């Protein structure tokens, strides 16, 4: 991948920084404002759950597929969910073909950690027969357009996909695996609705939801995943440092902003109605 720091001029960086010091953004937002989210669920007919989410002009499509396999020996009655991300070259000239790079790995891991540490998925509901058969879920995110802040977009896309899930219900009968004709849905599987909020930092200025020009001149970012009541994970990237006071302030602000965001997104409306 090309060195993105080299494609932004010093003049543009100074312009972005000058606006941030006035608590303004180049797209008209304040320091703690999100761009507009747009969400569509169950958009892929061949998937067992899907979502098409945009944040500003950043767009990620996520699909859910499954397999049946054996559980891990230390979790004999729990299924598995694996999160993956692919940065398609059509999404940005910054992306290149080839194996996953650091950015795609970071996107998948931060979204996965937010889901896993929040106890989002009721993994015991994914057990068909203890020690023998469980659902293995594959949550695949595809970046269609990159305009900054892939992590928050991916987080909402992943949760919406899980809420729209409709997995055919299986049981182990006399002849092995049998299908009942019913479905496991988001109602059955989703326990918590974690959100991940990402902040950029330039000099001593911290701001929410960096767009692409801001991201390219950021000295670092921090992503904080939260449920309604608690912080579940924190991920920092870049060379900048965040002080203890910064972390305390951002933790409090993340819980406050996420409460408002939950109401605006109303993610529960995307639960599937299939039974």
pLDDT tier, 9 (very low <50, low <70, confident <90, very high otherwise): low
**pLDDT (average), residues 247-264:** 97
Q: pLDDT at residue 8 above 70?
A: no
In a domain, 171, yes or no: yes
Query: What pLDDT is attached to residue 269?
Result: 94
Strand intervals (E) in the chain:
37-41, 50-55, 58-69, 80-87, 127-129, 133-145, 166-173, 176-185, 195-202, 205-208, 220-226, 231-238
In a domain, 145, yes or no: yes
In a domain, 61, yes or no: yes
Q: pLDDT at residue 3 above 70?
A: no
Tell me if the pTM is above 0.75: yes
pLDDT tier, 10 (very low <50, low <70, confident <90, very high otherwise): confident
pLDDT tier, 275 (very low <50, low <70, confident <90, very high otherwise): low
In a domain, 200, yes or no: yes
Query: What pLDDT is attached to residue 14?
Result: 86
The count of domains in the chain is: 1
In a domain, 162, yes or no: yes
Model pLDDT for residues 26-78, shown as the tens digit of each residue: 899 999 999 999 999 999 999 999 999 999 999 999 999 999 999 999 999 99
In a domain, 275, yes or no: no
Lowest-pLDDT range of 4-8, 59-63, 97-101, 144-148: 4-8
In a domain, 204, yes or no: yes
pLDDT above 90 covers a percentage of the chain that reads 83
| Inter-helix orientation angle 102-117/150-163, to 10° | 50
Query: What pLDDT is attached to residue 1?
Result: 44
Strand 205-208 versus strand 37-41 pairing type:
unpaired
CATH number of the domain residue 8 falls in = 3.30.230.70
Q: pLDDT at residue 239 above 70?
A: yes
| Domain with 99 in it | 4-270
Q: pLDDT at residue 2 above 50?
A: no
- The percent of the chain in helix, strand and coil, each rounded to the nearest 5, is 30, 35, 35
In a domain, 143, yes or no: yes
Query: What pLDDT is attached to residue 145?
Result: 97
Judged on CB neighbours under 10 Å (0-12, 13-18, 19+), 270 is buried
Give 17 or 150, the one with higher predicted confidence: 150
């Amino acid at each position: 991948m090309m060195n993105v720091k080299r494609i932004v001029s010093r003049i543009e960086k100074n312009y972005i920084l000058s606006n941030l010091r006035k608590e303004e953004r180049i797209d008209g937002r304040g320091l703690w404002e999100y761009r507009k989210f747009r969400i569509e669920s169950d958009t892929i007919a061949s998937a067992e759950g899907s979502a098409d989410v945009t944040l500003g002009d950043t767009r990620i499509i996520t699909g859910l597929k499954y397999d049946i396999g054996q559980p891990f020996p230390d979790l004999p009655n729990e299924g598995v969910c694996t999160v993956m991300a692919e940065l398609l070259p059509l999404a940005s000239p910054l992306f290149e073909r080839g194996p996953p790079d650091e950015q795609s790995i970071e996107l998948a891991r931060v979204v996965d950690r937010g889901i896993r540490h929040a106890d989002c998925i009721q993994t015991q509901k994914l057990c068909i027969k203890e020690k023998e058969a469980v659902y293995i879920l594959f949550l695949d995110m595809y970046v269609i357009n990159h305009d900054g802040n892939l992590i928050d977009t991916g987080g909402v896309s992943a949760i919406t996909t899980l809420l729209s899930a409709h997995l055919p219900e299986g049981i182990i009968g006399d002849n092995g695996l049998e299908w009942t004709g019913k479905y496991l849905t988001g109602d059955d599987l989703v326990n918590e609705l974690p959100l991940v909020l990402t902040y950029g930092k330039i000099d001593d200025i911290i701001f929410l939801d960096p767009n692409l020009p801001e991201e390219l001149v950021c000295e670092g970012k921090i992503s904080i995943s939260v449920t309604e009541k608690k912080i579940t994970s924190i991920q920092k990237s870049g060379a900048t440092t965040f002080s203890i006071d910064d972390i305390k302030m951002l933790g409090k602000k993340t819980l406050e902003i996420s409460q408002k965001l939950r109401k605006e997104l109303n993610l529960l409306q995307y639960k599937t109605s299939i039974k």
